[in-house]
């Protein structure tokens, strides 16, 4: 990929890039919508990435190109305004440029920029966090600045929250930034505090991308965020991580129906994350799988961010030999399902699941066999 982006950069901009960076997508292993509620979450950085190449310019122009759009977008360095239409993809690097200033860091002025990816968009694998972190590393290289990894992660989150407009927690950027091959990233989001948890070598990830709608900016994610904040306020806590299961049950009669369901999901999900960390240390992947499937059922019935397509895949996979468990991965409302499997689960079984899905919904899901990978880096 390094050679590919260097060649594309030369083709588009007529010269070699000065710096190349990459940042991985991530699998949300368990901890659905717990991050912005101050809870805990487990994620895995994967071996699919967004790559960014840059070179400085002296004329104050910023020229953006990606293999996703196929067109150059040229802006003055004086302009950091949200883009629409075909140019909307550059809101991610633009948001990072704006965030650098908020963190008292220098933003590069003129530059040429190319982004390429082997990470599918709209599949719940957080291509947005990957482009934010790869862009952040590239811009910091141009300006010869070296903030710590946590600051890089927070810059990406700030870009997503305040420029792109998605009120996400720190899961996506944290996992992309702190990822480590053959490990999961554990995040205590209230800190935030980042750690890694060894993943048994027999663990395999399969992603089934439904290509159903996964547009978080359209308000569904924001609505769930608002409902969680309202539930926390009604329970008398700052964030739902501070509530106990007993408190939620005791307040069931005074909480609205949605507030109760959202709070119960989040509080129970945080408990599942902590249990998963303990079980992973024993290597009992069947027990971990049960927690994953329980997480999906909670998303399905309590948080209501699943879809019939995702539910079908989880049902089908949970009943399949060599599958430990399955759940939606990412924000929900479409996107993808992750299955945790043994090495004995192979392409033939995956294709059989896809065929059954196609018979019901009329289109086959994409199948991706993922491995863990290292976090964002300059290459």
Scanning the structure block, which residue is given the tokens 């799988």? 289
What are the strands, taking DSSP E only, across 31-82?
Answer: 40-56, 61-66, 73-76
Q: Which of 35, 49, 112, 172 is catalytic?
A: 172
Cα distances (angstroms) measured from residue 216 to each of 213, 221, 248, 327? 9, 5, 27, 18
Torsion of CA 131, 135, 137, 138, to 10 degrees: 140
Tokens representing 196?
């890694």
Residue whose C-alpha is closest to residue 96's, from 11, 125, 111, 85: 111
Distance from chain centroid for Cα 250: 34
Active site residue 172: yes
Scanning the structure block, which residue is given the tokens 């997480």? 295
What are the strands, taking DSSP E only, across 106-253?
Answer: 111-117, 183-188, 193-198, 204-209
In contact, 333 and 305? CB cutoff 8 Å:
yes
Scanning the structure block, which residue is given the tokens 């119960």? 264
Which residues carry out catalysis? 172
């Amino acid at each position: 990929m390094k050679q590919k982006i260097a060649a594309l950069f030369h083709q588009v901009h007529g010269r070699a890039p000065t710096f190349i960076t990459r940042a991985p997508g991530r699998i949300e292993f368990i901890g659905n919508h717990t991050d912005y509620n101050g809870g805990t979450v487990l994620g895995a950085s994967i071996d699919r990435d967004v790559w960014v190449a840059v070179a400085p310019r002296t004329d104050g122009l910023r020229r953006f190109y990606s293999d996703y759009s196929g067109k150059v977008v040229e802006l003055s360095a004086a302009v950091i305004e949200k883009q629409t239409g075909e140019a909307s993809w550059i809101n991610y690097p633009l948001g990072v440029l704006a965030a650098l200033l908020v963190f008292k860091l220098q933003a590069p002025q003129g530059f040429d920029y190319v982004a390429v990816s082997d990470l599918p968009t709209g599949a719940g694998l957080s291509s947005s966090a990957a482009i934010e972190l790869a862009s952040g590393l590239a811009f910091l290289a141009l300006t010869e600045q070296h903030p710590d990894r946590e600051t890089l992660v927070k810059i990406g989150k700030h870009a997503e929250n305040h420029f792109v407009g998605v009120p996400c927690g720190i899961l996506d950027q944290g996992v992309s930034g702190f990822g480590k091959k053959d490990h999961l990233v554990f995040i205590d989001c209230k800190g935030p505090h980042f750690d890694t948890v060894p993943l048994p070598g027999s663990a395999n990830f399969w992603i089934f991308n439904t290509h159903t709608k996964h547009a978080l900016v359209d308000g569904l994610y924001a609505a769930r965020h608002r409902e969680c904040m309202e539930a926390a306020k009604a329970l008398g806590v700052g964030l739902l991580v501070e509530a106990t299961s007993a408190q939620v049950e005791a307040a069931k009669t005074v909480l609205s129906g949605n507030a109760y369901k959202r709070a119960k999901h989040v509080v129970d999900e945080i408990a599942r994350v902590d249990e998963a960390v303990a079980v992973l240390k024993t290597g009992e992947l069947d027990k971990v799988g049960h927690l994953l499937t329980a997480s999906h059922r909670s998303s399905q019935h309590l948080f209501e961010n699943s879809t019939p397509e995702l539910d079908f895949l989880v049902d089908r996979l949970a009943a399949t030999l060599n599958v430990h468990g399955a759940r939606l991965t990412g924000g929900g409302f479409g996107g993808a399902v992750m299955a945790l499997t043994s090495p004995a689960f192979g392409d033939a079984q995956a294709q059989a699941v896809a065929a059954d899905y196609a018979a019901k919904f009329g289109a086959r899901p994409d199948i991706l066999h993922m491995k863990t990978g290292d976090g964002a880096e300059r290459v």
